[in-house]
């Protein structure tokens, strides 16, 4: 049986600063979950602990009964910045990940896999170009291909569309959705964009403001799929969910400001 990814009582301190405290959620296989919250609340901290890039101070992350404490090939990560190696072509950047994840494949087999994923994200024609020659959106597509070539169970996305203009952002949101609908990998997306979270997710986990950030609201997004962003504002259920998220975020900003003033 495939078990959920479990984050249990996750606490992370940086010196005396308790950034996240007792954060717990279970993410069932195939779910698209977003972590949403104000800037600095601890979203990236949680995601990077799931990615194994940081260690929890207490509690932690369990996958298939095993605690996560290092990065693994079962988790593909995409950050806000594509962070491709600038001296390597798109294909070679993706090849680095393919060689790690599929060491038993022949070099030709690894290259085929890379070309398959570069094709899936729509950038085959740029395979032999250097990152600096490509737009930010194309670079981010390559970063997504680099994560996908691992054929990971989990896709961990930390504001992957944050640096893109709105049209490119929409295109890449649709790409991620299309890929998710094809293979139903578990996706965990960090964002502070309410509409993005509502458009993409099955569930939105809202974090309270730090210090001691935790789960403030766990909201099921029951909107039917496929979703249409162009008419979202006419959908009463969409507007209800949007209102609930905004009320939560506003309440927490005020609470935070009051605590600071006290
Ligand atoms: N390496 C670190 N050392 C000290 N403090 C840190 C470190 N990393 C994060 N923090 C602190 O932990 C808190 C949570 O940071 P984090 O980056 O996880 O927030 P975030 O929700 O991802 O913010 P943003 O939306 O701006 O990306 C912040 O107060 C931040 O200053
Ligand atoms: Mg962050």
Q: Model pTM?
A: 0.95
Residue 167 lies in a domain: no
**In a shared domain, residues 4 and 53:** yes
Task: Inform me whether the pLDDT recorded for 262 exceeds 80.
Answer: no
Task: Inform me whether the pLDDT recorded for 255 exceeds 90.
Answer: no
CA-nearest residue for atom 26, ligand 1, is: 39
Nearest ligand to the CA of 18 is: 1
**In a shared domain, residues 182 and 210:** yes
pLDDT at 34: 98
pLDDT band at residue 3, thresholds of 50, 70 and 90?
A: confident
pLDDT at 210: 86
Q: What is the domain-level CATH number for residue 68?
A: 3.40.50.300
**Could you tell me where the DSSP H helices lie in the chain?**
43-51, 90-101, 107-120, 136-148, 166-183, 194-200, 236-261
pLDDT band at residue 257, thresholds of 50, 70 and 90?
A: low
**In a shared domain, residues 221 and 103:** no
**In a shared domain, residues 156 and 248:** yes
Ligand 1: lining residues by beta carbon, under 6 Å: 14, 17, 19, 37, 39-45, 192, 210
Closest among 198, 202, 139, 203 to 172, alpha carbons compared: 139
pLDDT at 261: 67
Expressed in angstroms and rounded, the spacing between residue 46 Cα and the centre of ligand 1 is 10
Write the CB contacts of 95 (distance below 8 Å, at least 6 apart in sequence).
Answer: 110, 111, 114
pLDDT at 139: 96
Task: Inform me whether the pLDDT recorded for 168 exceeds 80.
Answer: yes
**In a shared domain, residues 184 and 107:** no
**In a shared domain, residues 140 and 54:** no
**In a shared domain, residues 186 and 107:** no
Residue 165 lies in a domain: no
Task: Inform me whether the pLDDT recorded for 38 exceeds 90.
Answer: yes
Nearest ligand to the CA of 256 is: 1
Q: 120-143, pLDDT tens digit by residue?
A: 999 999 999 999 999 999 999 999
In Å, how far from its chain's centre is CA 106? 31
Of 86, 116, 150, the position where a domain reaches its end is 150
Task: Inform me whether the pLDDT recorded for 26 exceeds 70.
Answer: yes
Residue 143 lies in a domain: yes
**In a shared domain, residues 261 and 181:** yes
**In a shared domain, residues 259 and 188:** yes
Residue 166 lies in a domain: no
Q: Counting atoms of ligand 1 from 1, which one is nearest the CA of 12?
A: 12
Report the domain count for the chain.
2
**In a shared domain, residues 156 and 61:** yes
pLDDT at 251: 87
**In a shared domain, residues 6 and 94:** no
Nearest ligand to the CA of 16 is: 1
pLDDT band at residue 175, thresholds of 50, 70 and 90?
A: very high
Give the chain's mean pLDDT. Answer: 94
Q: 100-113, pLDDT tens digit by residue?
A: 999 999 999 999 99
Domain span at 132: 78-150
CA-nearest residue for atom 5, ligand 1, is: 14
Section 111-120 average pLDDT: 95
Q: 194-235, pLDDT tens digit by residue?
A: 999 999 999 999 999 989 999 999 999 999 999 999 999 899
Angle formed by the axes of helices 107-120 and 136-148, nearest 10°: 130
């Amino acid at each position: 049986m495939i078990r959920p990814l479990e984050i249990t009582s996750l606490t992370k301190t940086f010196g005396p600063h308790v950034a996240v405290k007792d954060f717990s959620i279970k993410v069932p296989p195939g779910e698209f979950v977003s972590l949403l919250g104000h800037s600095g609340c601890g979203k990236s901290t949680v995601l990077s602990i799931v990615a194994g890039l940081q260690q929890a101070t207490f509690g932690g992350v369990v996958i298939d009964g095993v605690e996560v404490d290092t990065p693994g090939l079962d988790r593909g990560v995409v950050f806000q910045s594509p962070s491709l190696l600038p001296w390597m072509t798109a294909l070679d950047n993706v090849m680095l990940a393919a060689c790690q994840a599929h060491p038993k494949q022949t070099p030709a087999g690894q290259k085929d896999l890379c070309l398959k994923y570069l094709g899936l994200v729509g950038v085959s024609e740029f395979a032999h170009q250097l990152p600096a020659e490509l737009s930010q959106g194309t670079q981010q597509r390559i970063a997504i291909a680099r994560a996908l070539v691992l054929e990971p169970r989990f896709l961990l996305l930390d504001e992957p569309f944050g640096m893109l203009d709105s049209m490119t952002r929409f295109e890449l949101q649709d790409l991620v959705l299309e890929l998710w609908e094809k293979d139903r990998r578990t996706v965990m997306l960090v964002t502070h964009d309410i509409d993005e979270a509502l458009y993409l997710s099955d569930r939105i986990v809202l974090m309270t403001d730090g210090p001691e950030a935790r789960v403030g609201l766990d909201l099921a997004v029951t909107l039917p799929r496929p979703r249409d962003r162009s008419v979202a504002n006419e959908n009463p259920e969409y507007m209800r969910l949007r209102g609930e998220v905004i009320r939560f975020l506003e309440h927490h900003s005020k609470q935070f400001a009051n605590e600071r003033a006290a």
